[in-house]
Amino acid sequence: MPKNIFTRGHSRPLNRTHKLAIAGVGTLGAAAVALTAVPASGQTTTSEAAAPKAKVAYSTEQIQDVHAGVTGQLAGASQKVASIEAKKEATAKAAAKKKAAAEKAAEKREAKETASRSAKRAEVKKASTKSYSDNLDGWIREARDIMKKHGIPGTYEGIHRNIMRESSGNPKAINDWDINAINGIPSKGLLQVIPPTFEAYHVPGTSKNIYDPVANIVAACNYAADKYGTMDNVDSAY
């Protein structure tokens, strides 16, 4: 039998030229197949005619919606801030009004308490202020109360007795005939005290007028206490 001419040992390897030739044959075959698929009318259509270009439309509605949404949020935030500020202002006004009312109430209370204290002081003063009649009895009683405060002795009877002997109860009496008068310093007042003696034994708080009945009695009794122990021990000119 003849040897197989296609045995592996006698085959040649395909070079670049052979490969290109085979690729060309494949391409031609594919073209032939495509032509057999053309309709009998022989007319062909392109993809451009079958699928016209679509126009792209750009809408601003979404942008406007976003803008409106942001504006609304800002407006809402502003309203909230305004509401908070209004509440703060209302709270501050209420606090100020409450404080003013409290201060006014405190002022009224203080004024009332001050008036009450003044009234009480007036009552105490009125109660502590003893009234005396404007006559010999009243003068002696007032003089004795002053004498007690200053530790000056003298009874009502002893003072009254000496007054009646010296001036008969006349606070304006003046001696213009005795030795004191001759010396230019006449005795004056209820208990006939000369001016130097009155000034030396004057008691603070009493009048400095030698003719004042109370001041005259207190100064005379102060002198008598210094010289005689008490006015009760005086039975004649002293």
pLDDT for residue 166 is more than 80: yes
Contact 230, 177 (CB under 8 A): no
- Top pLDDT among 97 and 36 is at 97
CB atoms within 10 A of CB 215: 25
The rounded distance, in Å, linking the Cα atoms of 165 and 159 is: 10
Give the pLDDT confidence score for residue 16 in this predicted structure: 55
Of the candidates 140, 139, 138, the one whose C-alpha atom is nearest the C-alpha of residue 155 is 140
pLDDT for residue 192 is more than 90: yes
Of the candidates 152, 218, 156, the one whose C-alpha atom is nearest the C-alpha of residue 189 is 218
- Top pLDDT among 61 and 178 is at 178
Give the pLDDT confidence score for residue 28 in this predicted structure: 44
Q: Give the rounded percent of residues in the chain with a pLDDT score beyond 70.
A: 67
Mean pLDDT over 37-46 rounds to 46
Dihedral, CA atoms, 58, 60, 61, 65, nearest 10 degrees? 140
Confidence of residue 202 (pLDDT cuts 50, 70, 90): very high
Tokens 């001759």 label which residue?
182
The whole-model pTM stands at 0.49
Give the pLDDT confidence score for residue 51 in this predicted structure: 52
Please tell me the least confidently modeled range out of 21-25, 109-113, 206-210. Answer: 21-25
Q: Give the rounded percent of residues in the chain with a pLDDT score beyond 90.
A: 47
217 Cβ contact partners less than 8 Å away, ≥ 6 residues apart: 139, 140, 143, 159, 163, 190, 191
| Highest-pLDDT range among 3-17, 29-43, 102-116, 223-237 | 223-237
144 Cβ contact partners less than 8 Å away, ≥ 6 residues apart: 154, 156, 159
Crossing angle between the packed helical segments 136-149 and 156-166, to the nearest 10 degrees:
130
For residue 14, what are its two tokens?
């395909």
